[in-house]
A and B are shown apart, each in its own frame.
Chain A
């Protein structure tokens, strides 16, 4: 097959996969891959040295591939599954109206408890889309606190077109700009952020760079 035909076939396969409804992907539970330009940008200059190891934090579910990727680049790899921690019923407090809310202060006393300016890079993935409302802004504030000046954050947001039924996924880095998406059942999107929301969310950060994929996923590389 000529390279032109090959590229066209490749493009066609990608489009078909992207157009697949999110709920179908969730039902099948199959892993899919996608090119992630935001990740490529994020990882371009991300490598430590023998003498000076960088610190990187992954806020998604434990991913062997990500730990391999980070440690092979001379980095100290940290992992905190923040969404799983948010599901812990011990953080819930009963309100006067009988409803339950997360005790934010206690949650952040036990989670993401790191010194100021500790991390060079943070992989937040699409956690903000699935996190309970009361935790989103405090999470971004905490990230701002623990990220070093000139450190980088990678976040992913679903657009309205991606749909509210988009499954929560574990993101595995397979190449510096290719991600494997592994559906993890049990979480639903809580809200859709538009560009203005994202700008407001990261207003304390120095820079924001947006990349929009064909699958209506917005990748944002945020600089501290």
Chain B
């Protein structure tokens, strides 16, 4: 039939074109390098799956992703705790950073930051330096913002808390509160009292 053109067999040198995945091809080094940090990061995080049920005290000295059911106390004093969407926690939680996607009944004590995601349901009191609450999160309890030692010494304006509305601003903290403000000139309705 047709004779294959010699240039078809030549390896492409264009770096912008992604290489076709091939089973027998040697593993491309850049791809491996891209995956490396995330796998390393994952290795540092303990993982409790959704079928795990624990009754008692849970403590540790590493970050933890928790998607199971816990009844008791959780203590990760200087580490980060992520409660996954399937997590059901009946416990007092102490950690540096706490991110809640699932359901928590109990008090939360964080030395730095608490994030309540839109799927979260929290019944209990929160004591933290900073808090971010996404629109749609359910919360029943009290929020107590503790001022950090640095900010106290700085004698800045007490704006320690930031509850950001919406996923877009979930990463922001104290400064995001300004994005919630609406100037009167931009309002649709001006309703003055008689």
A79 close to B181 (CB less than 8 A): no
A122 to chain B, nearest CB (A): 13
- Tell me the bound Cα distance from A13 to B135 in angstroms: 28
Known: A67-B133, A175-B181. A72 touches B191 (CB 8 A): no
Chain B neighbourhood of A76, CB < 8 A: 142-144
B192 at interface by CB-CB < 8 Å: yes
Q: Which of under 10, 10 to 19, 20 to 34, or 35 or more describes the interface residues of B? A: 35 or more
A58-97 vs B, CB cutoff 8 Å, 1 = contact: the mask equals 0000101101100110101111110010000000000000
Chain B neighbourhood of A81, CB < 8 A: 138, 140
- Tell me the bound Cα distance from A212 to B152 in angstroms: 42
Known: A18-B191, A37-B193, A215-B191. A65 touches B143 (CB 8 A): no
For A, the interface residue count at a CB cutoff of 8 angstroms equals 43
A104-116 vs B, CB cutoff 8 Å, 1 = contact: the mask equals 0000000000000
- Tell me the bound Cα distance from A53 to B161 in angstroms: 14
B11 at interface by CB-CB < 8 Å: no
B190 at interface by CB-CB < 8 Å: yes
B94 to chain A, nearest CB (A): 19
A178 close to B187 (CB less than 8 A): yes
One of A33, A65, A71, A77 near B187 (C-beta < 8 A): A33
- Tell me the bound Cα distance from A175 to B180 in angstroms: 9
Chain A neighbourhood of B134, CB < 8 A: 64
One of B137, B143, B145, B191 near A34 (C-beta < 8 A): B191
- Tell me the bound Cα distance from A35 to B186 in angstroms: 12
> How would you classify the secondary structure of chain A's contact residues: helix, strand, loop or mixed?
mixed
Known: A35-B184, A68-B177, A178-B187. A212 touches B161 (CB 8 A): no
B165 close to A10 (CB less than 8 A): no
Chain A neighbourhood of B187, CB < 8 A: 13-14, 33-35, 178
- Tell me the bound Cα distance from A68 to B160 in angstroms: 9
Q: Which residue, B131, B137, B190, B192, has most C-beta atoms of chain A within 10 A? A: B190
Report the nearest A residue to B163, measured CB to CB.
Answer: A64
B19 at interface by CB-CB < 8 Å: no
B65 at interface by CB-CB < 8 Å: no
B82 at interface by CB-CB < 8 Å: no
B142 close to A77 (CB less than 8 A): yes
Chain A neighbourhood of B191, CB < 8 A: 14, 18, 34-36, 213-215, 217
Chain B neighbourhood of A217, CB < 8 A: 191
Other A-B pairs beyond A13-B188, A14-B187, A50-B147, 8, CB < 8 Å: A18-B191, A35-B187, A64-B137, A67-B143, A68-B162, A68-B177, A174-B180, A211-B194
16 sampled A-B residue pairs with Cβ under 8 A: A11-B190, A13-B187, A14-B190, A32-B188, A33-B188, A33-B189, A34-B187, A34-B189, A34-B190, A35-B190, A50-B158, A71-B131, A79-B139, A80-B140, A174-B181, A213-B192
